Structure 1
């Protein structure tokens, strides 16, 4: 994704005392085949990861291939780690398949259950605002693009739902607080409201 998509979260992490580095990649043209090797080069030094949507899938996929990397904690924001019904629906359409590009298979299939040494946390949204509903036909809560159930992979250290849409996770103050809390504590602050 473009670097700009995570700038707001980078500022919030900086305020919380972290020194964020934004990793960007080509979702359509490059896909996981080019993103994962580039990400692996970034993960050679001890670090934590905060990733949104497909970025979380790419990070988890990379760490499943290389569990020896010194990553302590990973927070995913609305990542369909169990696979995306919306992506599967889009992939059936010619224009939709082109939109998903080389990331289609990872988006459709998701990741294996998490068994890596890093602590993995998920912040999901449940404000159903987004075009994903047209393709995914969610039977339960969703953020408009990803169903909450699609974010609950086996092996998570913690999972929390905040009231925002999929895109809203990129600017949600509550999601940012929860991400910083997980990076510091290895669990979310299950606050009321």
Structure 2
């Protein structure tokens, strides 16, 4: 009897973190029979369009017939920009982990302060802009945190609920399924419950 091939997943990290930040997510997904690939990119030194183009090239080199995409924070914006710009990405599902798809109030406040501005670098434009809807033709799921511990408190606070860095309102995307978990922004890449939810969505197309 033939066995189905494992779903291939590309993991895209967020601002400051680096690809290693999603190593635990990758390991847990592999235990659930997913095939994972980690994409790394310069979050501060390169623009969103440039990082989206680099992600497209990375996926093309994998030469896959199907690819799911999981992005944390800024990584989710890289995914959405790539799918907006390019029509040659293999079919697959999308999961965004705490991605500020409507822009980030915290990032805007950081950018307003001259001494803190380097903390967002070239990502500033991406974190201040937004996306209005889920990618056409792709089942998209959003996992957002509701444990409000993080840098948001330092820079003026956030509307509730939030994960300490990004609010739920900033994560919501028209046409996407939604899952809210009691984790922080960093917890989105370490909590087992997040991987369980992501794996279910990648397998079934719903939470």
TM-score w.r.t. the length of structure 2 is: 0.86
In structure 2, which of residues 108, 124, 143 is the aligned counterpart of residue 123 of structure 1? 143
In structure 1, which of residues 28, 37, 41 is the aligned counterpart of residue 44 of structure 2? 28
Please identify which structure carries the higher helix content.
1
Structure 1 residue runs without a partner (length 5+):
189-193
Tell me whether 1:40 sits opposite 2:56 in the alignment: yes
- Per the alignment, residue 18 of structure 2 pairs with 2
Tell me whether 1:143 sits opposite 2:163 in the alignment: yes
Alpha-carbon RMSD across the aligned residues, in angstroms, is: 1.4
**Equivalences for residues 76-87 of structure 1 within 5 A:** 76-87=96-107
Q: Report the 3-state secondary structure (helix = DSSP H, G, I; strand = E; otherwise coil) of the residue aligned with 2:180.
A: strand
Question: How many Å apart are 1:63 and its aligned residue?
Answer: 0.6
Moved over 6 A (4+): none
Contact 2:28 2:195 (8 Å CA) reproduced: yes
**Count of residue correspondences:** 187
Tell me whether 1:51 sits opposite 2:110 in the alignment: no
In structure 1, which of residues 148, 165, 168 is the aligned counterpart of residue 184 of structure 2? 165
TM-score w.r.t. the length of structure 1 is: 0.92
In the alignment, the residues of structure 1 paired with residue 155 and residue 108 of structure 2 have an alpha-carbon distance, to the nearest angstrom, of 8
- Per the alignment, residue 183 of structure 1 pairs with 202
Contact 1:86 1:133 (8 Å CA) reproduced: no
Contact 2:110 2:117 (8 Å CA) reproduced: yes
Contact 1:73 1:118 (8 Å CA) reproduced: yes
